[in-house]
Amino acid sequence: MASEEELFASVDALLEEEPQLPPPAERARLRESAGVTQARLAVALKTSTQSIKNWENGRSEPKPPRLDAYQRLLKGWAAKHSAPGAPAAPFPFPSPAPVPLPVPAAFTGPASPEAPEAPAPGVPTPAKTTVAPTSPAAPERPAGRPATSARPARRRVSPNIAAAPYQYGPLAVLDGDGQAYGVEGIVLDCPATTIPELVEWTLKESHLGAAKLHRNGKDSDPLIVLTAAAAVKLGLPEHLQGREQRRSLRLPEDHPVVKQITKAKWQLTRRGFGPWARIYRTAQGRERLCVQLAILSWDALDARSWPGVTDMEPADIARVLGIYAQRVITPRGSTAVSGLELMTALRPPTKAVQDRETGNWVSGHNPGSLGTEPMDPAPPEATPEHPVVVNSGWTGGFLNEESYQWVRSVDSLSDEECTLPFAVGLDLNTAFLAAAARLVVGLSGPEHFTGPKFNPKIPGSWLADLSHISLNPLLPSPFTPDGTRPTGPAWYQTHTLAYAQELGHDVHPLEAYLRRETGAYLDPWHDRLKTAYVDTLADLGITKDLSDTGFLAAMERYKQTDPALAAVLAAVKATVKGGIGKLRERPQGKDYTDGERWPALQRPTWRPDIRAAVISKSRVNMHRKLSNMVKLTGLYPLAVLSDCVVYPSPGESPLSFLPYAASGKPQPGGFRLGPTPGLAKLEGVQSMLWAVGLMEQGLNPARHIKGGDTVLDEGE
């Protein structure tokens, strides 16, 4: 017969197993009863809308400290909104008992795009976990350091050798005192005093890294970001010094730190030890032995892509980079490099296949990917210095699929337009990302055809004469970047010729380079970056359910709402443009000679034809909206630069001229305000007199509409 002590122990065990939160469906019901949207709840809990969705459909559970806050909110809602037909009752599940703040669950990154996100597994309690004491008053922040909101409480932890890998997230920011600041407020003690010691500590003790984004891919290597003080402590110069170091952006091979790395039998990639250094050993089995370093004082985080981040405190830098790593990818260099790496991470070139003869599992091609071998482009798709062009003596012209840089003639302005007081700039959100959606591109090599029949479903490059097509002279031509009418045969990407057909004109190509194997290669890349962009905006309070007036107001102040999240948003946008630009990376260095192969050509992702497809579709999308605006409003643009268009306006707001139906809803086809890719936001407002003055000088108002000397990033 069981003793009283044994019975009590069994009962206590049952109590511990009782769920802390109501069932997922009840969570959703309580929120809806309170009239709160998922986006609004996400802002309140300082998380993403997708996380709220996961909690309400049972895919994942919140972790402290959000768990406690979520419980408190649900308890309050439950007291007010009991289930239909049920009497008002106390909170149907127990309040959490005060417990020490635990170590966060393993940071494995988002689920594979091909599988739903699984509930996070339990993580063993570390051998030693302490909570950093909270001081009565926060110390005053040094001048020049921007404050960021929503930073998690700092938690000092000791690595747990038996715990799951990556339990402390994908990265850490190391300061000069040996404190490594990670995601979710984690602080690790790092005893390393040399770069080799830092690499060993990172791989053996830090539990940093991130799980692969695709089941056939590879885990992300841990990233250690070095502050200036940490760099000096580890024997690195605070800044790259000397003309040669600054020009090559790396340490010379005889530098003491490089010698330390070699002596410890570690290797550097061909890029050497620069702002982004990869230190590795040959993999042992499936275990990767690689650590990436980013040195802040060497300008690892470009201010255009990561505004204000280098000047933040280490904990805030870790927050910015951690959110980016969770939503996009662990940074692997510039945002352009990360954008390109993301393509490969989501479409790995190989997968395990079983050999029919031996039964062994071997590496094989992953369908839908670009493979492992670089592919030479067709001559018209290449650049003039490419070996394909130089060695063949090609003189047949090149694709000129670039973004718009067009200014209307001042002589074409009407008296009515000149009397309007304002010039208002509209900017399309991540226009290249919108163009990448469901974009079919070539996956195999180009094949040459003479006199082919045009097929808008086949990606490729076509030689055709569009000079006979006459369009509205007050709009830029959709067939050329500068908006002028074509003067004879030229090479065009499929989307450009398809748009000519859409406008009602016959297309008769003279020749073409086409690809038989095709696919929507960029789809996973588009979907992940779109989600990152929309979720980050939602965290800043900018959601799809805002009115246009509310959207404009929220966009005006979002950078002050949370500078850290604003920096993440800027990095996501830079990842889109930079990633597309990297598809046609040109040679660098004054010693380069035309016809030589440059390093970028060794990548399977050196694909100028895919870049041309994205830009062609983006430019066509812009022209379609410009044409629809004429039909809906009678307005013509003053200038277009990439994804920015400037209109004359009777008021300072886009609401003064954008088309709306009698119901108040935006008219389809024209420019619409909103937070999703392809919709528009306000870029800037100036006087009409200012715009005309620039146009008279042959300058583009869209380039300077924000004020000052602002120049838009055009993608490369």
pTM, entire model: 0.79
How high is the pLDDT of residue 36? 84
Q: Say how many Å lie between the first and final Cα of the chain, rounded.
A: 78
User: Which of the four pLDDT bands, split at 50, 70 and 90, describes residue 100?
Assistant: very low
How high is the pLDDT of residue 126? 37
Of 80, 114, 138, the residue that ends a domain is 80
Alpha helices in 461-562 (DSSP H): 494-502, 523-539, 548-561
249 within domain boundaries? yes
Give CA–CA dist 314/295, Å, rounded: 12
Share of the chain above pLDDT 70, in %: 83
Pair (162, 76) in one structural domain: no
Pair (304, 159) in one structural domain: yes
Residue with tokens 């929120």: 31
Which CATH number fits the domain that encloses residue 10? 1.10.260.40
Pair (64, 164) in one structural domain: no
Of 299, 333, 367, the residue that ends a domain is 333
Residue 42, domain extent: 4-80
234 within domain boundaries? yes
Residue with tokens 């959709």: 478
Q: Tally the domains of the chain.
A: 2
Out of 28-42, 124-138, 229-243, give the one with best mean pLDDT.
229-243
Give CA–CA dist 478/484, Å, rounded: 9
Tens digits of residue pLDDT in 635-657: 999 999 999 999 999 999 999 99
372 within domain boundaries? no
Tens digits of residue pLDDT in 297-320: 999 999 999 999 999 999 999 999
Write the burial class of residue 20 (CB in 10 Å: 0-12 exposed, 13-18 middle, 19+ buried). middle
Tell me, what amino acid is at 227? Answer: T
How high is the pLDDT of residue 285? 67
Structure-model confidence comparison of residues 480 and 21, the more confident one: 480
Average confidence (pLDDT) over 162-177? 86
User: Which of the four pLDDT bands, split at 50, 70 and 90, describes residue 246?
Assistant: low
How high is the pLDDT of residue 589? 81
Pair (194, 311) in one structural domain: yes
Residue 148 in this model has a pLDDT that exceeds 80: no
Average confidence (pLDDT) over 624-639? 97
Residue 415 in this model has a pLDDT that exceeds 80: yes
8 within domain boundaries? yes
634 within domain boundaries? no
Distance, CA of 549 to chain centre = 27
Residue length, the chain? 716
Pair (292, 167) in one structural domain: yes
Structure-model confidence comparison of residues 96 and 446, the more confident one: 446
**Average pLDDT taken over every residue of the chain:** 86
Of 333, 351, 376, the residue that ends a domain is 333
Tell me, what amino acid is at 302? Answer: D
Number of C-beta neighbours around residue 252 at 10 A: 12
Lowest mean pLDDT among 292-296, 555-559, 581-585, 708-712: 708-712
How high is the pLDDT of residue 122? 37
Spatial contact of 272 and 255, defined as CB atoms under 8 Å apart: no
Nearest alpha carbon to residue 403 among 83, 238, 617: 617
Tens digits of residue pLDDT in 333-357: 999 999 999 999 999 999 988 888 8
506 within domain boundaries? no
69 within domain boundaries? yes
- Residues 592, 588, 716, 599: is their CA dihedral positive or negative? positive
Largest CA distance in the chain: 102
Tens digits of residue pLDDT in 509-522: 999 999 999 999 99
101 within domain boundaries? no
Pair (199, 293) in one structural domain: yes
Average confidence (pLDDT) over 97-104? 37
User: Which of the four pLDDT bands, split at 50, 70 and 90, describes residue 163?
Assistant: low
Tens digits of residue pLDDT in 438-458: 999 999 999 999 999 999 999
How high is the pLDDT of residue 309? 97
How high is the pLDDT of residue 199? 97
How high is the pLDDT of residue 288? 79
Pair (187, 303) in one structural domain: yes
Spatial contact of 63 and 105, defined as CB atoms under 8 Å apart: yes
User: Which of the four pLDDT bands, split at 50, 70 and 90, describes residue 45?
Assistant: confident
Give CA–CA dist 277/298, Å, rounded: 11
